């Protein structure tokens, strides 16, 4: 399994609007082949936590690297442009790709 991590920071004044949009955006992402599930987390502690902004991390669990590559080549530019169009300079995003080594269920 592949974890596609998206780290997001948005100005405090737009955080509620941003999270509402992000919930819908995540639902759209889960329609792509190979995207199995997603977790949205509010970042509570870390270097990105500032008093005038809110930070979030999304982990998408993806079937394999081929599914991620297909998304990146075919859909990523369009999906990313939606956030830029709506929130412009009021948010920032960075991404990482992780390979899951171990999963211990509850």
Residue 104 resides in a domain: no
pLDDT digits (tens, 9 = 90+) for 24-42: 999 999 999 999 999 999 9
The pLDDT tens digits for 55-94 are 999 999 999 999 999 999 999 999 999 999 999 999 999 9
pLDDT tens column, 43-53:
987 666 677 89
Domain holding 65, by residue range, is 2-99
Q: Residue 42's beta-bridge partner residues?
A: 56
Give the DSSP letter string of the chain.
-EEEEEEEEEEGGGHHHHHHHHHHHHHHHTTSTTEEEEEEEE--SSTT--TTEEEEEEEEEES-HHHHHHHHHHTHHHHHHHHHHHHGGGEEEEEEEEE-------
Number of domains in the chain: 1
Domain assignment present for 60: yes
pTM: 0.91
Indicate whether 106 belongs to any domain. no
Question: In CATH, what number is assigned to the domain containing residue 8?
Answer: 3.30.70.100
Whether residue 63 is contained in a domain is answered as: yes
């Amino acid at each position: 399994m592949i974890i596609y991590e998206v780290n997001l920071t948005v100005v405090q004044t737009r955080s509620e609007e941003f999270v509402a949009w992000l919930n819908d955006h995540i639902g759209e992402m889960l329609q792509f082949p190979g995207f199995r599930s997603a977790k949205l987390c509010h970042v509570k502690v870390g270097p990105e936590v500032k008093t005038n902004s809110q930070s979030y991390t999304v982990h998408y669990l993806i079937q394999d690297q081929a599914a991620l590559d297909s998304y990146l080549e075919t859909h990523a530019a369009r999906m990313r442009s939606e956030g830029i169009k709506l929130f412009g300079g009021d948010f920032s995003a960075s991404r990482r790709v992780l390979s899951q080594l171990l999963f211990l269920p509850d």
